[in-house]
Amino acid sequence: MAEKFYDFDPAEMLDSAEAVEIFLTEAIATDDAKFIAAALNAVARAKGMGNIASPTA
């Protein structure tokens, strides 16, 4: 029987400010620039780029 694999999107789990903080803290602790960039991308997708860009524009 073949195993089923599913795509995991961490953006779906980032539903609170606390979750985002923990997620980014753990990503930064790795000191891996690609991993940190991927984590920031996940946060951006979770929050919606429009919501992130509005306050800074």
Note the pLDDT of residue 40. Answer: 95
Confidence of residue 1 (pLDDT cuts 50, 70, 90): confident
Tell whether the model's pLDDT for residue 50 goes beyond 90.
no
Q: CA-to-CA distance for 47 and 57, rounded, in angstroms?
A: 16
Identify which of 40, 51, 44, 42 has the alpha carbon closest to the alpha carbon of residue 9: 42
Per-residue pLDDT, 6: 87
* 56 has pLDDT over 70: no
What's the number of CA atoms in the CB half-sphere (13 Å) around residue 49?
1
Rg over alpha carbons for the chain, rounded to the nearest Å, is 14
Average pLDDT value over all residues in the chain: 88
Query: The whole model's pTM is what?
Result: 0.74
